Structure 1
Amino acid sequence: MLAGGPAALRGLWPGVPADRRWLLVLSVLAILAALIATRLSDAVEPTVAHRSCGGLVHSRRTVRRLAALFAVDAFAGGFTAQAFLVFWFTREYGATAQLMAVVFFAAGLLQAASSVVAGRLGERIGLLNTMVFTHLPANLLLAAIPFMPALPIAVILLLVRSALSQMDVPARQAYVVTMVDPGERTAAAAYTNTARYAARPVAPLAAVALMQFPWIGLPFLAAAGLRIAYDLTLYTLFRHARPMSDQARAYGHQPC
């Protein structure tokens, strides 16, 4: 918003600076976030008595399966990165970078609000159901965007999709820690997040290859198709899985 918003608001504030050094605000905020992280106390870590005796032990198989699925989801997300969306909307509808900055700003607000809603929804229908049943319609909307006849309709679909697509993020993070021993939560988060971060950067290369075809909407379909497959596989594999706390009570299992 800070990078593209000033030009979009020039009609209301003619003297607003258009310098692209507004982008540096992102770096400043990132540094500030890192400083805040250093202020966290040991209370955010498991107590010494419940820490794992070394990495993943009892939950290794579960974490590996989740990490593989999350990697597919992240890879699919890389097909429709923001840079691609700006390029596509500009080429197909003549949208300006300033307009897309405002669109992404609105999308960010919707995603932030959806995170709060996701927490309450997870309490009502369960974390796995929240992950899958919000992600599926979001991906169907993503697949529909390249077929829209006009810019306003495509933007509306993108915003509705944004409101749904990130609801699985807090649910996913909470789901991971419920499926492992308390002492293995840090390791589980490290494995699953690393899988996502390692897979996502590869997708833009594949997206560029798809864009060589006559129709440049193929990355939308590739992203949506992979993510729908991820949703269905995740639900199939884990719909009967029980949280680790329930397993411990049932079998008398204790973390090492």
Structure 2
Amino acid sequence: MSFPRIDLLKSPPDATQLVLLAHGGKENSVVETGSWRAPILRMWPFAAAAIKAAPGSAVGLMRYRYQGWNGAEAHPAADLRAVLDRLPERITRVLLIGHSMGGRAVVAAGNHSRVAGVLALAPWLPRGEPLVAVRGPVVLAHGADDRITNPAETAAYAQRLRASGVPVALFSLEGETHELLRRSADWNALVRDFVTGTTPNLTTDTDSIVELPRSSPSDSPRRGVLDIAQARLRLRVLSGGLLTG
């Protein structure tokens, strides 16, 4: 794949808003992305939640050229900007949702003129990440037991954004790891609230971290895996779409 694209899952002909989901990846890799990799599959239930929450919106999965961030090249962020630049004129608002490396990409592209909000789930925001004037609402959420990306670094980035005057909602999910499988219903609810514009706790208070209430007592990842399987079976990638590459 020599160009980035969107795999559309829903595309109403009169849609003016796009919900675009950006998957995770690796620190370094120029291997092409594939449809059945775990980071991409993890985004399908979020796409299903977005479709239900915003039936009049287009919903799609971002497909980067490569699996890796690749240092200063920052390929996923560059690919995301390229796709945003090439959207048809009727798409005037884009809501970005990213996980892990995709969370870093949506934050990096969050100042694009078409972006109307950013939701980053367990984002990879390393120390020293450039501060971007992200167009709000800005929602950051991290599992407290994540050992792949660092919740403290997410909180530090939220502090910097808030200190610059950007309201940010920062959530912590107790008992959750990087794969977002143990509290899948809570992650889906975050997506729904974000898409419908009802996310609470947007604030410039630099120290505010909200523990997201647990909707289920179970920490079993089986529910999350089932959510992925059901969404992948129920939804399909549409032929054609907003971009042809």
Q: TM-score range by the shorter chain?
A: under 0.3
Greater RCO structure (CA 8 Å; 6+ sep): 1
Q: Which has the higher strand share?
A: 2
* Length-normalised TM-score, structure 1: 0.24
* Length-normalised TM-score, structure 2: 0.25
| Higher CA-based Rg | 1
Q: Which has the higher helix share?
A: 1
